[in-house]
Structure 1
């Protein structure tokens, strides 16, 4: 009965997510009062450039009462080199952007791909894109509705896809395809005026931003990428809602369009894959098959809703999946690892007319092979899915976590200090993190 109630809740969530995007968070009633923060002020150095909208902002810092004038951030300089901690000028938000005091940031494979040089990205940069934090300041000329919805003092969560809210795709409610996000942030490491918000304290060297550059004490986030986090949810565990859960929800709700009774296989059950398992269970999937090469991860997968577990080192994953499903294959297979071999396994595991959903990133330029005749004759659908839709989906995920439908505590397997983030990425690379690690920053 609990699963049926969960499924009904999610079905309503999916239905509403296909309507036009709501511009602001619906949780304004849960916001903290800003009365205790009325004394926040800005003080600019004499060397600072004009703050007029459209003017390039240099590396001059500012400070707010009872807060530092500068901040620390973890910087990626070049592939396979350690992250270093550097002092930055305090970031400056522009119109419809918000300065966040970062509380926690998840450790994600996407960052690891950048650190290893597998995904080209502008450097030096600050990685980290799965955050929770506190609203410190609104950019000059920010829309009054945004200020009302996200007042100073609000605790918030940020989605790694930060929609501009006005491009062709955003206007259609497809935040996950935001043109500005891909053109500026992913291609250039900037926000949507073509400028980074990060400058080193000494010398003013610009440092680029992977999403909002979350592995820093403060970060600037476009307002449409934020939702209010109620005080009933913890800062640390809730950080994973912005990427691991957000990515999984986008795959299951929009790409796969999971229905009650579907048979589902998830290949790769790390942070994102294990989130897929939880969402599949909540959607009412009948068979949920977890595939991995580590028994520890597979054992934990059963806590997240897996009805079957396959160790791909010990058994042929495709053969076993078909055996479990009476020879047909699953309705939906999800690839959450990002490898050519698992891409092929994913396609081969689905039944005729089924969906193979790819969400794992891999080495830039990598190719996956598929039997074209099988694809055509058996009507196999191969679908890519990068993430969810911030304005529609993020508030829903917060509700699901608040009601206990999504278990955040079980999903976060490690918490670490800001200073230990380098070791966390090393362990992630070695496969030593079961689930998700989260860095506690403040």
Structure 2
């Protein structure tokens, strides 16, 4: 499987660019206007600039179209706007969601910079950023970013439901932009815009809305902590909000990759009594025991549903989590829960794919089928950081491969082949 190119970023062309930054770093004009006649939104010229004493451009990994290789491209240095921070990326996780975009299974604007699971260092704040944010996340602060980047102002964000942020879905997931309808990424050689999957984290710098960031303590490493922003974040949303796991619950997790293994650890942290891991690879199942699994099932050799019911004395589990995004495992998930239990779906798949369910069983036995995309950045990400800092969540065991920026394409190829047991992380440092 082939993959992607990288981009050069350029920033917005507004006259407000000339206003003073509120931080100790300031932007200044680097060179003359770069007019992009071919860009749809680039009728207005953009200015190249760089951080005071820093670079004027960066590298990023670009996805151009399905079945084309990811490539490393030069970008103009991205510019944060109000309520946004410029982050020097230190690490970026390799996630199946990126892979679905790369394979054309999930529609997304292209070309784009993928990568949505990052840690890094604060370099700059956008003009007019709230002083409280600047105090909370000063220049030089270590941070982790959540892939769902809440705007903080929409109907759902105002209710604390960051995971349903209207702006995130309407702008980022639908258009590949931030919440003014524009990307922050522009190629260095042509000035053409490149879209952003979340923050476009597979780049040397990225722009992230303030509400998606939390401070990362010095005690936690950049590389392993990157998975907090998606793998752990997704698992926590499923277990805490969708499943509402309680002490003593019996849990089954179908699909033990980066997200599935995180579900196991969170189930253990929440006091689940029986934690059943289901996969088709013995190596993943062996690792599942490290993450808290009390039982393992190889679905290639055993009937997963029958085995789950055997383990639970014929009842089924209180909560089953589907972390693969396949019609077969969707059905297994609904069939594995006890009467009144919850089947939680977190695996993404081919756009438009359908999952079957036994309607009569669902109705008569009060089975709850719940979708869950992620957690709530402002409230949950700090909790996840504390779990990792206390040692309750084992980041080191979850990250099974570290690779260089130039090796990112190969990492996605291996992910597609199923040869990455846990989570791979690209080190940008």
Q: TM-score, normalised by structure 1?
A: 0.89
The DSSP-based 3-state class of the residue aligned with 1:102 is strand
Residues 225-281 of structure 1 show CA distances to partners (whole Å, capped at 9, x for unaligned) of 000001000000000000000000000000000000000000000000000000000
1:58 is displaced (CA, Å) by 4.7
Equivalent residue pairs, number? 402
Residues 107-131 of structure 1 show CA distances to partners (whole Å, capped at 9, x for unaligned) of 0000000000000000000000000
Residues 85-117 of structure 1 show CA distances to partners (whole Å, capped at 9, x for unaligned) of 100001011000000000000000000000000
Q: Tell me the distance in 2 between the aligned counterparts of 1:379 and 1:106.
A: 38
The DSSP-based 3-state class of the residue aligned with 2:412 is helix
Q: Tell me the distance in 2 between the aligned counterparts of 1:41 and 1:62.
A: 6
CA contact 1:71–1:88 (8 Å) conserved in 2 = yes
Q: 1:77/1:380 Cα in 2 relative to 1: closer, same or farther (>3 Å)?
A: same
Residues 349-369 of structure 1 show CA distances to partners (whole Å, capped at 9, x for unaligned) of 000000000000000000000
Is 2:26 aligned against 1:43? no
In the alignment, which residue of structure 2 is the partner of 1:114? 101
In the alignment, which residue of structure 2 is the partner of 1:149? 136
Is 2:63 aligned against 1:66? no
In the alignment, which residue of structure 1 is the partner of 2:219? 232
Q: Which structure 2 residues correspond to residues 6-17 of structure 1 after superposition, within 5 A?
A: none
The DSSP-based 3-state class of the residue aligned with 2:272 is coil
1:379 is displaced (CA, Å) by 0.0
Is 2:74 aligned against 1:93? no
Alignment partner of 1:290 out of 257, 261, 277: 277
The DSSP-based 3-state class of the residue aligned with 1:162 is coil
Q: Tell me the distance in 2 between the aligned counterparts of 1:392 and 1:294.
A: 35
Runs of 4+ residues over 4 Å off in structure 1 = 55-59
Is 2:172 aligned against 1:185? yes
Q: Tell me the distance in 2 between the aligned counterparts of 1:233 and 1:369.
A: 42
The DSSP-based 3-state class of the residue aligned with 1:42 is strand
Residues 386-439 of structure 1 show CA distances to partners (whole Å, capped at 9, x for unaligned) of 000000000010011000000000010000000000000000001100110000
CA RMSD of aligned residues (A): 1.5
Is 2:186 aligned against 1:202? no
Q: Tell me the distance in 2 between the aligned counterparts of 1:122 and 1:251.
A: 27
Q: Which moved more, 1:171-180 or 1:137-146?
A: 137-146
In the alignment, which residue of structure 2 is the partner of 1:316? 303
Q: Which moved more, 1:57-66 or 1:192-201?
A: 57-66
Q: TM-score, normalised by structure 2?
A: 0.92
In the alignment, which residue of structure 1 is the partner of 2:403? 416
1:145 is displaced (CA, Å) by 1.3
Structure 2's unaligned 5+ residue stretches are 1-22, 36-41
Q: 1:298/1:59 Cα in 2 relative to 1: closer, same or farther (>3 Å)?
A: farther
Is 2:346 aligned against 1:346? no
CA contact 2:254–2:278 (8 Å) conserved in 1 = yes
1:148 is displaced (CA, Å) by 1.4
1:38 is displaced (CA, Å) by 3.8
The DSSP-based 3-state class of the residue aligned with 2:347 is coil
1:59 is displaced (CA, Å) by 4.2
In the alignment, which residue of structure 1 is the partner of 2:16? none
Q: Tell me the distance in 2 between the aligned counterparts of 1:439 and 1:61.
A: 27
Residues 206-228 of structure 1 show CA distances to partners (whole Å, capped at 9, x for unaligned) of 00000000000000000000000
CA contact 1:352–1:380 (8 Å) conserved in 2 = yes
Is 2:234 aligned against 1:253? no
Q: Tell me the distance in 2 between the aligned counterparts of 1:272 and 1:56.
A: 42
Is 2:320 aligned against 1:333? yes
Q: Which structure 2 residues correspond to residues 265-280 of structure 1 after superposition, within 5 A?
A: 265-280=252-267
1:46 is displaced (CA, Å) by 3.0
In the alignment, which residue of structure 2 is the partner of 1:369? 356
Residues 155-194 of structure 1 show CA distances to partners (whole Å, capped at 9, x for unaligned) of 1000000000000000000000000000000000000000
Q: 1:59/1:84 Cα in 2 relative to 1: closer, same or farther (>3 Å)?
A: farther
Structure 1's unaligned 5+ residue stretches are 1-36, 50-54
1:40 is displaced (CA, Å) by 5.2
1:140 is displaced (CA, Å) by 1.1
Q: 1:220/1:173 Cα in 2 relative to 1: closer, same or farther (>3 Å)?
A: same
In the alignment, which residue of structure 1 is the partner of 2:120? 133
Q: Tell me the distance in 2 between the aligned counterparts of 1:322 and 1:264.
A: 12
Q: 1:68/1:259 Cα in 2 relative to 1: closer, same or farther (>3 Å)?
A: same
